[in-house]
Chain A
């Protein structure tokens, strides 16, 4: 029993997209699906404009809006607070995509190749990724980040955390007051994105400079 969470330090992120690429490489997500994303944000107006990169992952909310609206029971929350989609139960109604405030859920209709100018079969690496994806998830159903639970079970960190060269991402147990993430949230005034939706996200951000 734990409550797995993320801390993302906005003052450290410089927008290299390593998280996005590492996620794709690790989870074999098809073209058009990015469970970890890095999006640019702006504040103010010229000449006092500011730019900030904001990495996004599934917030693994304690009160997930996606689970609330899911009509089939495909969306479930495990004992560690990770929200998952049962691919056998999901009917692909996309209601969760509408209800999630964080854009964490995505769906694709088919595998479209990353290399459209090559003829014929997929190259062996892409064919492997396609098989791996079809085993894990598939087409038509909702898909989402699960904080790399396969890796975490082996004692490793999620792919995006491991790959971040700026050390802007931390992963750990929010319920343990002595964990690195809990200490960071307390000491550096970590905050959640859009708490007004009442989903109690498990992903915290440390303020930008």
Chain B
């Protein structure tokens, strides 16, 4: 009996999960950098500013995947049971807070630039919803119970760590390209990110290890490790997304040069997208059982 992976959720969904995580991660890093103050002010502005546009573009991808996109605005109506509805509400509040936070710095609200109390309040609320956004992307998939590869407590954790890591790398990339900040904060961010990558490798290992319990998630793991998704996993996620940025960042800490951090960030960000795609395209429904007979659902 051959079990087939789901094909109804395409790479558009992966792109959404990736961008929602990245945007929320960058925003959270931005707010935390803002609390540190001083030389971190530039980093903070970049991180906070990345939040809203990244999540918005991500939502466009998700709407693109809908069968009847004109109905997208109904997505929030059943938060009592549906994780898409809950996520829609979390992400909408996050985007509103993201816009308000940035508005403190731009015309015509420039006079509020020094309103630190109000900005910190928005930041604290925003960071709560940023974490909600990062974690919910994992819970969203997990609510599809027949797909054991998704329905695991490791997935929200994996997406959270990846979101924070890609968020940091998006901040580093943006500040390197725009030349807005350099020196100590950037090197420090690369240092923090290398720990996040090590954590992500561990979480990814345990996530795959936890697939052994039922045949459908074993089939998913096989697909990812040795099957048709294996090239994307080993080359895209493991090599480009984790090993290369980790090595580059460890060197970047010593050298404190922009080019290394820049290359590490580009690789790591692409790897984050590949990770979502591996997880989404590796989902396999549980076979049906009638007595001794097992039935693989037609794809």
Contacts and interface: CB of A to CB of B under 8 A. Distances in A.
A208 B291 contact: yes
A37 interface: yes
A100 B68 contact: no
B281 to A, nearest CB: 13
Interface in A20-47: 37, 39, 41-44
Main secondary structure on A side of the interface with B? loop
Interface string B105-147: 0000000000000000000000000000000000001011111
Nearest to A97: B8
A39 B294 contact: no
The 3 A-B residue pairs with the shortest CB-CB distance in the complex, in nearest-first order: A92-B67, A140-B67, A91-B71
Contacts of A98: 6, 8-9, 141, 144, 146-147, 150, 283
Contacts of B76: 71
Interface string B153-170: 000000000000000000
B293 A72 contact: no
A54 B295 contact: yes
Given A92-B67, A98-B150, A194-B289, 6 more contacts: A10-B290, A69-B143, A72-B74, A92-B68, A99-B144, A107-B67
Given A99-B145, A107-B8, A194-B288, A71 B67 contact: no
B82 A90 contact: no
How big is the A interface, by class?
Answer: 35 or more
Interface of A: 10, 37, 39, 41-44, 50, 52, 54, 56, 65, 67-74, 89-95, 97-103, 107, 109, 138-142, 191, 193-194, 197, 205, 207-208
21 contacts: A42-B1, A54-B290, A65-B146, A69-B83, A69-B144, A70-B78, A71-B78, A72-B75, A90-B71, A91-B69, A91-B74, A92-B71, A94-B65, A95-B144, A98-B150, A102-B288, A103-B285, A191-B290, A193-B288, A197-B146, A197-B286
Contact of A42 (B8, B69, B293): B293
A95 B283 contact: no
B15 to A, nearest CB: 15
A193 B289 CA distance: 6
B75 A91 contact: yes
B293 A93 contact: no
Interface in B62-88: 65-69, 71-72, 74-78, 81-85, 88
A20 to B, nearest CB: 11
B213 interface: no
A205 B293 CA distance: 12
Contacts of B75: 71-72, 91, 93
Contacts of A10: 290
Given A69-B82, A95-B84, A98-B9, A89 B71 contact: yes
Contacts of A42: 1, 293-294
Given A42-B1, A71-B77, A194-B286, A91 B292 contact: no
A193 B293 CA distance: 11
A155 to B, nearest CB: 31
Contact of A41 (B68, B71, B81, B290): B290
A52 B295 CA distance: 10
Nearest to B81: A68
Given A91-B67, A193-B288, A68 B146 contact: no
B202 interface: no
Interface string B261-299: 000000000000000000000010110111111110110
B208 to A, nearest CB: 20
B145 A101 contact: yes
Contacts of A94: 8-9, 65, 67
A66 to B, nearest CB: 10
Given A43-B292, A44-B292, A54-B293, A69 B286 contact: no
